[in-house]
Structure 1
Amino acid sequence: RTVDVLGNIPLLPVLVLLGVTLQELDVSPWTRLFVIIGFLVIFGWGGMAIIVRSMTLSIKSEPYIDAAKAIGASDRRIIFKHILPQIVPYAMANLVFSVPGAILVEAGLSVLGIRHGLPTWGSILADARDYIGAGGSYGVWWWILPPGILIGITSLAFVFLGLALETVVEPRLKRR
C-alpha cells in the first residue's frame, strides 16, 4: 500500500514546493541539490518495488523452489541462491534506466526557476532563457544547444547502457 500511495503523489508539484521552500530557507546549494536528489530517490523506488515483488512471487512459485524446500534448504539459502541472482540484474538495469529521468527532472526544475545554485546543464538553459527574455539576442545558440545536446547524449548513453544490461540479463534478447 505504501508503494501505491507514493506512486499516486505527483512528483513535480512536490519538488517545486520543496525547491521554493529550500530557497526561502536560504539553504546551501549542495544541501538543496542533495535534498532534491533524496526526494527523487524517495519517490522513485515505487516502480522498482512493484517489479521486484512481482518477480519474487513468480520465482517463488517455480518448481525448483519447492524442490529446494523439500530437501531442507533454509529460507536464507533459497533467497540468496535462487531468488536474488535472478532479480539483481533486472534491478540494476532498471536503476540505469532511471538515471536519465533524474537528469531531466533536475534540468526541468532549473528551467522552471527552482535552482540550487550550482552550475548544471539545467541552470545554463535557465540562464539562456533569462538572457533571451531580458531582450537578449535570439541568436545565442551557444547558450542553448550545448547543454541541450549534452543532456540528450548523457540520457541516451544511460539508455544504451540499460539496453546492454537487459541484453546480458535476458538471453532471449540476444541476436542469433
Structure 2
Amino acid sequence: MNVAVSNNTTQPAPRVIKHRAWGRFKRNKMAVVGLVIMVALILLALFAPLIATHDPAEQDLLQRLKPPSKEHWFGTDDLGRDLFSRVLYGARVSLSVGIFSVLFNVIIGVIVGSIAGYYGGKTDSILMRFVDMMLAFPQFFLLIAVVTLFKPSLFNIIVVFVVFGWMGKSRLLRGQIMSVKNREYVDAARTIGMSDFRIIFVHILPNAIAPVIVSATLQMGGMILSESTLSFLGLGIQPPFASWGNILQSAQNLTVMTKAPWVPIIPGFMIFLTIMCFNFIGDGLRNAFDSR
C-alpha cells in the first residue's frame, strides 16, 4: 500500500501528462499553424496523383518557361514540365525522406539509449563508445561519399540518413532514462517482479521520451534540407523523378533565373515553409512537455 501511494504521488499518469501537454501545445499559435500547414502538405503529397494537373515528367518544349496561368498554376520549367505537378510529387519525396528517416532514427535511438541507460556499467560503456565513434565521422561528407558509391534512390537516401542519424537520439534518451530509472514507481515495478522489457517500455519510456520527440520533430527539417542539398548537387533523386532539390538544380541556368524566377522561388519556398513548420511544431512540443 505504501509503495502504491508513493507511485501515485511522484509521477502523474501518462494520460494526464498527454492532456496537459496538448493543452499547452494549443496555446502556442505558431505551433498550431505549423501543424495545420504540415498536415495539409502531407495530404497534398499523399493525393498528388489525384490533384496534379499534368504528368510531372511530361515534357513539352513549346511550353518552356511559361509563367503561372490557369493551365499551369505554377508555370513550367526549362523543359516545359508543369511545375505545380512536379512540386506536388517532390513533396512526396521530401516528406518521405524526413518522416521515415526520423522514424527509424527514433526506433534505433530508443532501443540503444534505453538499453544503455537502464543497464549502465559495461553495456553502457560499449554502446556509448560506439555512438561516440559514429559521431566522430563528418556526417554530411560521409553521406555524399556513400550516396556516390551507390545508385541514388529514395530508398538508399533514407537508409543512409537512418544509419548516420540515430546517435543523438540514443544519447538524449540514455540521459533521460538514467535520471528516471531509480524513481519510486520504477522500484515498485521491480518489487512486484516485472520484466526489464516491461519496465523500460511501459513505465520508464513514456516518462522519458518527450525530449526525443521534440528532437525528432526538429530533425525532420534538417533531413529534408539534407535531401534537397544532395538532389541539388545531383547526388539525390534523379530526373525524371521530381524532388524539391532537383527542381532547384534545373533552375541553376542564368536564363531560367532571369526569365522564369518562379522556377527556383517556388520549390525554395516549399523547402523553407516545411522546415519552418517543423521548427514551429518542435518549439511547441518543447514548451508543451516542459513541466515548468
Output the TM-score relative to the length of structure 2.
0.50
Deviation at 1:21, TM superposition (A): 2.2
The secondary structure found in structure 2 opposite 1:171 is coil
1:14–1:64 Cα change, 3 Å: same
Q: What one-letter code is carried by the residue in structure 1 that aligns with 2:173?
A: V
Moved more, 9-18 or 47-56: 9-18
- Does residue 15 of structure 1 match 2:143? yes
Following TM superposition, the consecutive aligned residue runs of length 4 or more in structure 1 with deviations greater than 4 angstroms are none
Q: What are the within-5 Å matches in structure 2 for residues 116-127 of structure 1?
A: 116-117=237-238, 118-127=241-250
CA offset at residue 91 of structure 1? 2.4
User: Is 2:260 aligned against 1:140?
Assistant: yes
Relative distance call for 1:65 and 1:19 in structure 2 (3 A) is closer
Structure 2 stretches lacking a partner, 5+ long: 1-128
Q: For residue 56 of structure 1, what is the aligned residue in structure 2?
A: 177
Instruction: Give the % identical residues.
Output: 34
Gaps of 5+ in 1: none
User: Within 2, Cα distance between the matches of 1:58 and 1:13?
Assistant: 35
- The structure number with the bigger radius of gyration is 2
| Aligned CA distance change for structure 1 residues 145 and 136 (closer, same or farther; 3 Å) | closer
Q: Which of structures 1 and 2 has the larger relative contact order (alpha carbons within 8 angstroms, sep 6+)?
A: 2
**Helix, strand or coil: the match of 1:157?**
helix
8 Å CA contact retained: 2:256, 2:263 = no
Superposition map of 1:98-137 within 5 A: 98-117=219-238, 118-129=241-252, 131-132=253-254
User: Residue 33 of structure 1 aligns to which amino acid in structure 2?
Assistant: L
How far apart, in 1, do the equivalents of 2:141 and 2:198 lie? Answer: 44
Match of 2:100 in 1: none
Per-residue deviation, 1:128: 0.6
Work out whether 1:2 is the aligned partner of 2:2: no
The 1:78/1:21 distance shift into structure 2, 3 A limit, reads closer
Which residue identity lines up with residue 18 of structure 1 in the other structure?
A: V
Helix, strand or coil at the partner of 1:114:
coil
Question: For 1:55 and 1:38, how far apart are their aligned partners in 2?
Answer: 27
Distance in structure 2 (CA, Å) of the matches to 1:109 and 1:90: 28
The alignment covers a number of residue pairs equal to 161
RMSD of Structure 2 on Structure 1 (CA): 2.1
Higher helix share: 1
